[in-house]
Amino acid sequence: MFRFLEISNNSLFIFYLVSNLINLALLIVAIYKNTLHRYRLEGLRLEGIRSSPFTPPISLLVPARNEEMCIVASVRSLLRLDYPQVEVIVVNDASSDRTMEALRDKFALHRSPILYIAEIATAPVVAIYRSFAHPQLLVLDKKSAGCKADAINAGINAASSPYVCVVDADSILEKDSLSRIMAGIISDPDRVVAVGGIVRILNGSIVEGAELKEVRLPRTHIEMLQVIEYLRAFLVGREAWAAFNLLPIISGAFGIFRRDLLLKIGGFRADAVGEDFDLIVRLHRYLHDKGVDYHINFIPDPTCWTEAPSDYSSLARQRARWHKGLLDTLWSTRDMLFRRRYGRVGWIILPYMWLFECLSPLLELLGYTTILLAAVMGVLSQHFFIQFLLFGYAFATLISVGSVLLEEMNYRRYASWREVAWLLIYCLFEHFPYRQFTMVWRLRGIWEYLRGDLSWHQVKRTGASTTAVG
């Protein structure tokens, strides 16, 4: 028994050490890439992108189901984006609230005889509307297939642009976000097939007239911790993995894709729990199978602001759902593991996602249990416990601190050093006790997936994206 506890505790220590060393390496790569990007920004002329006749048009796809609280403000913000050719396609996925009525009332919609060709099979589209006031606004009213992916696929079918951008209905894009994110495609249009932007927490910020007026930190502990979590995930993880063309996911809240490729792979998988992660892995597979030289990129400054869960029950449902999506995608693409055909995707990023993302809550639960048993039985080494705190907690906290400082050095979204100081203080609590909460929520996701519960639980929203917060 003592030997088992010793092996288990040492294994958890090695797991944390290797995980944090990988994250440290990613942080170093991200700092380097962010520095290069900042210098590029100084010479980047967004006016040229906005004024050039060769700038490719974009279709913005907004899947909406029961989004009465925020849909009007969201559409207004998209119509105001500073980009030359934008088509906004809202897909009303059989909402049971007043989502469709709100769109009809505010944007003067009328039935349109547009030819709709379902190149990707979806639930039936009942009607197509166009706005009198904004001809670039198209609204699809469709029956529901019970998933967001089906609504996005209907939008892909209706899109007339070579690039599509998927945006959540409760999100707000900054005015120049499309110009900034498309700069990453225009610089290498033959290779770049998809680009993700950064998603940041809107809670606490001041929003007026569907525009973000002032960035502020949230007021609650759980929202503050999510700010740090998002900064680390996007500015460190996605920035660094994209540098090696190993980006595993583009957030469903803000990403741009070549429409022709989406059609070739059949769009978003309708039965996928995490359709955004699943899509990117399938794109990697398809392009490797075809022997295409490609790049799936991430650009850190085009920003999408979204409302994060503000209560524990909603956050728990969201994280359980995310983990179900992770497990679902990894299991469906398990044949890509360690296959020479898929290069670094099969040898590096997918094994990493299995070990350090998917299975990590199980490994952590086992490790915490054996550490507690060893402490109760009086056989927990003081030397081991100090090392565990150093390399498991302190090391990880320093990486979170590095993420916050990276944001402040390059982008400075927050108005004062007081807010930055608060973020740095909250970094001390992200890995204890917040990490243990997320471990439990992710374990719940594994359990739900194994027992066949693949349902989509709606996250409770408070309307932070539609009201001014002072």
399 assigned to some structural domain: no
410 assigned to some structural domain: no
DSSP-H helix ranges across 131-252: 148-158, 177-186, 221-231, 239-243
Report residue 31: phi and psi, to 5°. -60, -45
Determine the 3-state secondary structure of 365 from DSSP: helix
Q: Is 303's pLDDT higher than 80?
A: yes
- Sorted by sequence, the CB contacts under 8 Å of residue 34 that are 6+ apart come out as 235, 239, 300, 406, 410
Give the range of the structural domain holding residue 217, as residue numbers without chain letter. Answer: 45-311
Q: Is 183's pLDDT higher than 90?
A: no
54 assigned to some structural domain: yes
Query: In 10 A of CB 425, how many CB atoms?
Result: 10
Q: How many domains does the chain have?
A: 1
Q: What is the pTM of this model?
A: 0.92
Query: Which of 464, 403, 43 is CA-nearest to residue 232?
Result: 403
Sheet of 163-167, strand order: 109-111, 125-131, 137-142, 86-93, 58-64, 163-167, 254-258, 192-201, 295-306, 171-173
135 assigned to some structural domain: yes
Per-residue pLDDT reduced to its tens digit, 400-457 = 999 999 998 888 888 788 999 999 999 999 988 999 999 999 999 999 999 988 765 5
278 assigned to some structural domain: yes
DSSP summary character for residue 458: P
Q: How confident is the model at residue 35 (pLDDT cuts 50, 70, 90)?
A: confident
Which H or E run contains 274? none
Q: Which of 35-44, 127-136, 394-403, 439-448 has the lowest mean pLDDT?
A: 35-44
Provide the pLDDT for residue 470.
33
393 assigned to some structural domain: no
Report residue 154: phi and psi, to 5°. -60, -40
210 assigned to some structural domain: yes
Provide the pLDDT for residue 469.
35
Tokens describing residue 3: 């030997």
Q: Give the separation between CA 351 and CA 334, rounded to whole angstroms.
A: 10
Q: Give the separation between CA 302 and CA 156, rounded to whole angstroms.
A: 22
Q: Give the separation between CA 307 and CA 203, rounded to whole angstroms.
A: 6
Angstrom CA distances, 298 to 120, 413, 421, stand at 26, 19, 27
Q: Is 466's pLDDT higher than 80?
A: no
Query: How buried is residue 11: exposed, middle or buried, by Cβ count under 10 Å (0-12/13-18/19+)?
Result: middle
Helices 395-410, 2-43: crossing angle, 10 deg rounding: 10
Query: In 10 A of CB 84, how many CB atoms?
Result: 15
Q: What is the CATH number of the domain that holds 108?
A: 3.90.550.10
Query: In 10 A of CB 192, how many CB atoms?
Result: 18
Determine the 3-state secondary structure of 320 from DSSP: helix
Q: Is 177's pLDDT higher than 80?
A: yes
Tokens describing residue 129: 């509307």
Q: Is 380's pLDDT higher than 90?
A: no
Q: Is 150's pLDDT higher than 50?
A: yes
Q: Is 464's pLDDT higher than 60?
A: no
Per-residue pLDDT reduced to its tens digit, 1-17 = 778 888 888 888 899 89
355 assigned to some structural domain: no
Angstrom CA distances, 375 to 2, 5, 182, 381, stand at 11, 10, 55, 8
Q: Residue written as tokens 């991430």?
A: 298
